[in-house]
Each structure stands twice: as C-alpha cells, then as structure tokens.
Structure 1
Amino acid sequence: MRPKLDGILETAVYVDDMETAHSFYSDILGLKRMVAGERLFAYDAGPAQALLVFHRGHTGEDVETPGGIVPGHDTSGHSHFAFRIGSDQLEPWRAYLGEMGVEIVSEVIWPAGGTSLYFNDPDGNVLELAAAPLWPNYLS
C-alpha cells in the first residue's frame, strides 16, 4: 500500500540576484524570511509552507551538512508557482500590484469559476495568485 502524502512543504525558484529577489518577496509580497544564506533564502509562505529562493548556478553541487548530504539541484529558465488567495482578495491584489509597479501579465478565469492573476518576479519567474474554485481539490 502506498504511504500517504501530507501536501507540498516547499517550492523553489532560482534567481540571479538574491538581494533584488529579497526586496521583491519580502517588501512587495510581504513574506517573512526565515533563513538567509549565500545560496538560499527561505520564506514563510503560509502554515507549514516554505518558498525557497535559490541563487541560480550556486546549488548544483551536493552540500554536506551535519545531518547529511543535500543533493545538488538547479534549473534554468523561468519557474512557476501559485499563492492561494480568497476571491475577495482579487481586486485588492490587482490594485496593490499596480501601486507597486508590478504588471499583471495575464488573468485567467477557469472553467470551475476561479480566477488567477499572473505576474513576474524580477528574474522572470511566473507567479500566480489563485482564487478558488480552480482544481477539484481547491474549491474554497
């Protein structure tokens, strides 16, 4: 029998300029940084959820820690992830992003009735603010 998964704990993006990324994720999106290192910033993205911001090109090698080896990983190109928001927060987010000079590059109304706002971080990663219903497991 397959063991149960409890959800996604972390998601990651890779950036070229860590301080510019920090300004965006901390100052504009309001995420609290939990870890600050040379190759990784970790942000509190909600209950039991972390956004990992890796310094592109600095994470491909294995990293030895006192607790074991973290396998190397890296990516090229633009990543994507979505934040969950309430449908009553769509208009406040539209207005806020505009005030902050962050362009909404696309808005999608899904067949189930939910809405997604898409925008980019300074490195071109595609971020989404998604209001339910969207997926069969994301109804409210």
Structure 2
Amino acid sequence: MTHNDLPAAPTPDVILEGALYAPDLDAAEAFYGGVLNLEKITRAGDRHVFFRVGAGVLLIFNPDETEMPPGNTQMPVPSHGARGPGHFCFGVDTAALTAWQDRLEAAGVEIEADFKWPNGARSIYFRDPAGNSVEMAEPRLWSR
C-alpha cells in the first residue's frame, strides 16, 4: 500500500507537545523552570518533568526511565527515549529575544550562535544542562 492508497484525514493543526531527553531531571527542572521561567505542570520522580509553553507543552524525559516498558496499565504509553543532544525552538518577539539573551548571559549560559536568517528573522542558540540545543527565534522565521 502506498501513501496515496490511505484513507483521507485532515492535516494536524498544531504541535501539542515536544520532547527533549535529559538524564538529570533536577538540572533540567532548574534550567527550564528557573532560568527559562517556564511554568512547571508536573514532575513524576526521576521519570519526567513537564512545562507549559504557550498553548503547548515541553516534555523533558529521563531516557533511562522512559526506555523501560510502562508500569502503569491505566496509562499504557509505549516506551521511548533518545540519546544525545536534541533540539527545541521557542518563538519570541524581537524585543524579548534581546531580553532573553541578557538573562541567559547573566545566568552564565553561553550563547553559541546569534544570527539573522535569509528572511531577516533572528535566532539565538544555547545549550541546556543535558547538552540539548535550544533556540529562541522570531516567529517570522517560519512565516509563509
């Protein structure tokens, strides 16, 4: 069967959640909740910590825990995990991007890259404690 033979379905509207993996959830919680000032939704021991980002959610999972088969039959989420640095990008307006750069530098977070894309949108890149590449960019980066 090819993708052309599949039943029709509407295109998804939004990315509801994105995930990064970090073996040290205490460091991840301090970074995302403290330095990035995200609202923590929940934490489940050493398995995961979730944060609100606008209408979406950033999931931070400990891969050592999520690679194991699910132990809760009421929530049969398949095992998953990733090793090595991932990537996540937050959309922020122009004025906020400069304020974030100042806050990150004051917190001792190195800005790895700061540049303008061919369409004029600006991005800054930095790392979280697990080595994930985190970007903040003007939303016009992906405007149509």
For residues 30-51 of structure 1, the C-alpha deviation after alignment (integer angstroms, 9 at most, x for no partner) is 011111102011111112x001
Secondary structure of the residue aligned to 1:57 is helix
CA RMSD of aligned residues (A): 1.4
For residues 54-89 of structure 1, the C-alpha deviation after alignment (integer angstroms, 9 at most, x for no partner) is 012110133254544101101011000100000121
2:124 to 107, 113, 117: 117
- Give aligned-pair identity as a percent: 35
Structure 2 Cα separation of the partners of residues 96 and 68 of structure 1: 38
Structure 2: gaps (5+ residues): 1-7
1:41 is aligned to: 49
State how many pairs are aligned: 136
Answering whether residue 22 of structure 2 is matched by residue 15 of structure 1, we say: yes
Greater C-alpha Rg: 2
Query: Is 63-72 or 76-85 further displaced after alignment?
Result: 63-72
Secondary structure of the residue aligned to 2:140 is coil
Structure 1: gaps (5+ residues): none
Structure 2 Cα separation of the partners of residues 46 and 132 of structure 1: 13
Q: Comparing both structures, which one devotes a greater share of its residues to strand?
A: 1
CA contact (8 A) 1:64 1:70 kept: no
Post-superposition, which runs of at least 4 consecutive aligned residues in structure 1 deviate over 6 A? none
Aligned partner of 1:16: which letter?
P
TM-score (norm 2): 0.88
- Structure-to-structure mapping, 1:1-140, within 5 angstroms: 1-38=8-45, 39-47=47-55, 49-65=56-72, 67-137=74-144
TM-score (norm 1): 0.90
